[in-house]
């Protein structure tokens, strides 16, 4: 592990002439993979440690190299669009620090998320308060801490903002076609195009500053062309606002991009459509800053969950007769109980329409000759909706076996509970020595977009 000076702050720290970015030890320890160690080696080791301590507690390994990789992919494909990471998707401090080191902005949805970003050293100008229905006290908090950029989609929200944050820089969220997304938002948020004119007039009467337009095509978007129409809708709103005398300078194209390698539409395809529409309707010389609010894109692939088989039952199905009156041999179903489930890290199975299935795999080696059994995997709590996988044919599992699940970064940690007293999974952030050093360099040179 390279020399690191532990420090409670988040700013770069000077040690013996070089500048290091140091993660505070209290809530954000980080494991550096050096000497060729891989994420898999790290997982193997942790599982060994758990074995020696008889621990079945689930844990995540958060691979920050994956976040870095997604960042590079973003810069390559959407160079004009600055990401403001959606904190709601995964608010693990190591993830936020990594993204902050990469100079992304942050989309915060509440006072708590703003507090969290500020406490990590994010400056207020790098935060958009991207929630259109905000408690008054949260708007006051934003105002008191210099977070000026915020979204709205109704007259009532304008009235609230004019009462307690008259200097806000407002971004009008519009409803766009979200029918091609796995999680839809437009029924709940976004002004219809027909009401835009009236809303903007009202903002003028109240003396408020509207600087831009935002939209969200829905999470887990499966059709790149919806961005084309949404950007055209935004252009229409820009024109209306400009004609009313607003200085429109910001377009926020929201989130919706999957971060999974196996997702049905590649990020490159979205990028091509977005870049084409931006170049046509918001060309670089328009002076409009383009931002986005990606959540799952950055974290989907970064997290792997390890959970343990804590109990097992072999259920013999009722014997019945076939049509010839012969008694069939009984079928059996294996019931396994995992140390994590839908009240814990896997809650997206019931409340994220973009992620309704997982494919756990055994940590130990599996022989192709192993007999397979019809099996159901349950979570650890006393509730029967706590089911991880439906019936599937898998090799026999044994108590103490570890299962791994990939692509666990989005809407997992931030939605988990400790229902029934089962503790939330511990999180181990890891980063390669190469990335660690590259980030130090980024800090040294203040590399930004």
Give residues in contact with ligand PLP (CB under 6 A): 86, 88-89, 107, 130, 185, 216, 219, 254-257, 293-297
Q: Minimum distance between the CB of residue 151 and ligand PLP, rounded to whole angstroms?
A: 7
Q: Which residue, 252 or 386, has its beta carbon nearer to ligand PLP?
A: 252
Q: Which two three-digit tokens encode residue 430?
A: 């890891």
Which are the catalytic amino acids? 382
Q: Minimum distance between the CB of residue 398 and ligand PLP, rounded to whole angstroms?
A: 37
Q: Which residue, 59 or 267, has its beta carbon nearer to ligand PLP?
A: 267
Q: Minimum distance between the CB of residue 85 and ligand PLP, rounded to whole angstroms?
A: 9
Give, for 328, the enclosing helix (H) or strand (E).
none
Three-state DSSP state, 251:
strand
Q: Minimum distance between the CB of residue 130 and ligand PLP, rounded to whole angstroms?
A: 5
Q: Are 287 and 247 in contact (CB under 8 A)?
A: no
Which residue number places its CB atom closest to ligand PLP?
A: 255
Angle at 399 between CA 396 and CA 403, to 5 degrees: 70
């909706």: which residue's tokens?
A: 385
- H-type alpha helices, 17-133: 39-52, 64-77, 93-101, 111-119
Q: Minimum distance between the CB of residue 351 and ligand PLP, rounded to whole angstroms?
A: 12
Whole-number Cα distances in Å, 219 to 186, 223, 256, 296, 355: 11, 11, 4, 8, 10
The dihedral built from the CA positions of residue 263, 66, 34 and 58, taken in this order, carries a sign that is: negative
Q: Which residue, 291 or 403, has its beta carbon nearer to ligand PLP?
A: 291
Measure the CA–CA gap between 66 and 174, rounded to whole angstroms.
32
Q: Which residue, 221 or 305, has its beta carbon nearer to ligand PLP?
A: 221
Measure the CA–CA gap between 302 and 21, rounded to whole angstroms.
21
Q: Which residue, 86 or 274, has its beta carbon nearer to ligand PLP?
A: 86
């Amino acid at each position: 592990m390279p020399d690191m000076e532990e420090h409670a702050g988040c700013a770069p720290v000077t040690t013996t002439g070089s500048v290091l970015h140091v993660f505070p030890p209290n809530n954000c320890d980080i494991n550096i993979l050096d000497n060729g160690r891989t994420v898999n080696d790290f997982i193997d080791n942790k599982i060994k440690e758990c074995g020696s301590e008889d621990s079945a507690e689930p844990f995540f390994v958060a691979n920050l190299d994956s976040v870095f990789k997604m960042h590079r992919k973003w810069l390559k494909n959407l160079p004009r669009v600055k990401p403001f990471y959606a904190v709601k998707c995964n608010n693990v401090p190591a993830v936020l620090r990594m993204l902050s080191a990469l100079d992304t902005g942050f989309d915060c949805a509440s006072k708590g998320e703003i507090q969290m970003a500020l406490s990590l050293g994010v400056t207020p100008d790098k935060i958009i308060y991207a929630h259109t229905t905000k408690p008054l006290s949260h708007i006051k908090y934003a105002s008191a801490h210099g977070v000026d950029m915020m979204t709205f989609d109704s007259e009532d929200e304008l009235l609230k903002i004019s009462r307690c944050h008259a200097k806000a820089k407002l971004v009008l969220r519009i409803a766009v076609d979200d029918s091609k997304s796995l999680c839809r938002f437009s029924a709940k948020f976004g002004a219809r195009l027909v009401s835009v004119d009236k809303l903007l007039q009202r903002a003028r009467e109240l003396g408020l500053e509207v600087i831009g337009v935002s939209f969200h095509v829905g999470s887990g978007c499966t059709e790149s062309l919806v961005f084309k129409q949404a950007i055209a809708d935004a252009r229409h709103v820009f024109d209306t606002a400009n004609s009313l005398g607003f200085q429109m300078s910001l377009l926020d194209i929201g989130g919706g991009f999957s971060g999974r390698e196996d997702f049905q539409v590649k990020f490159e395809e979205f990028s091509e459509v977005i870049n084409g529409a931006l170049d046509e309707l918001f060309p670089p010389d328009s002076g409009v800053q383009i931002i986005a609010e990606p959540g799952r894109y950055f974290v989907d692939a970064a997290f792997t969950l390890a959970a343990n088989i804590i109990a097992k039952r072999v259920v013999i199905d009722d014997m019945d007769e076939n049509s010839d009156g012969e008694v069939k041999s009984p079928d059996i179903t294996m019931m396994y109980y995992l140390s994590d489930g839908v009240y814990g890290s896997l809650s997206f199975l019931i409340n994220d329409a973009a992620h309704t299935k997982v494919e756990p795999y055994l940590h130990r080696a599996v022989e192709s000759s192993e007999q397979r059994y019809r099996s159901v995997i349950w979570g650890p709590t006393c509730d029967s909706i706590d089911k991880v996988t439906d019936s599937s044919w898998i090799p026999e599992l044994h108590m103490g076996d570890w299962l791994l699940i990939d692509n666990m970064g989005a809407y997992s940690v931030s939605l988990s509970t400790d229902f029934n007293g089962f503790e939330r999974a511990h999180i181990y952030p890891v980063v390669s020595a190469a990335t660690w050093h590259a980030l130090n360099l980024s800090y040294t040179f203040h590399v930004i977009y």
